[in-house]
Amino acid sequence: MIYELYGDLRSGAFCVEAALAEAGAPYAFREIVLDRNEQKSQAFLALNPSGKVPALRLPEGIVLTETSALLTIIAERHPECGLLPPSGSIAQAEALRWLAFMASEIYPMVEVDDYPERFAPSGAAAEALKGKARARIRERMLIVEAAVKGRWLLGDTFCAADIYAAMFTRWSYFRDWKEEHLPRICALAEALAVRPKIAPVWKRHFGS
38: containing domain: 3-81
- The CATH number given to whatever domain includes residue 111 is 1.20.1050.10
- Would you state the pLDDT for residue 148? 98
Q: Residue 147's closest CA among 120, 182, 114?
A: 182
Cα distance between residue 4 and residue 30, in whole Å = 7
User: 70 and 131 in one domain?
Assistant: no
User: 95 and 35 in one domain?
Assistant: no
pLDDT at 173 over 90: no
Q: Which of 81, 100, 121 is the last residue of a domain?
A: 81
pLDDT at 21 over 90: yes
Cα distance between residue 66 and residue 13, in whole Å = 10
**What strands, in cross-sheet order, belong to the sheet with 27-31?**
27-31, 3-7, 55-57, 63-65
Between helix 90-101 and helix 160-168 the angle, nearest 10°, is 30
| pLDDT tens for each residue of 56-111 | 999 999 999 999 999 999 999 999 999 999 999 999 999 999 999 999 999 999 99
Contacting residues for 127 by C-beta, under 8 A, at least 6 apart: 116
pLDDT at 208 over 80: no
User: 56 and 102 in one domain?
Assistant: no
User: Residue type for 58, please?
Assistant: L
**Residues paired with residue 6 on neighbouring β-strands, in sequence order:** 30, 55
pLDDT band at 1 (very low <50, low <70, confident <90, very high): confident
SS3 77: helix
Indicate the pTM of the whole model. Answer: 0.95
Tally Cβ neighbours within 10 Å of residue 177: 13
* Residue 152 contacts residue 158 (beta carbons within 8 Å): yes
- Would you state the pLDDT for residue 175? 85
Q: Residue 113's closest CA among 130, 91, 126?
A: 130
Cα distance between residue 191 and residue 83, in whole Å = 15
Question: What does the pLDDT average to over 47-56?
Answer: 96
| pLDDT tens for each residue of 122-165 | 999 999 999 999 999 999 999 999 999 999 999 999 999 999 99
SS3 33: coil
User: 98 and 53 in one domain?
Assistant: no
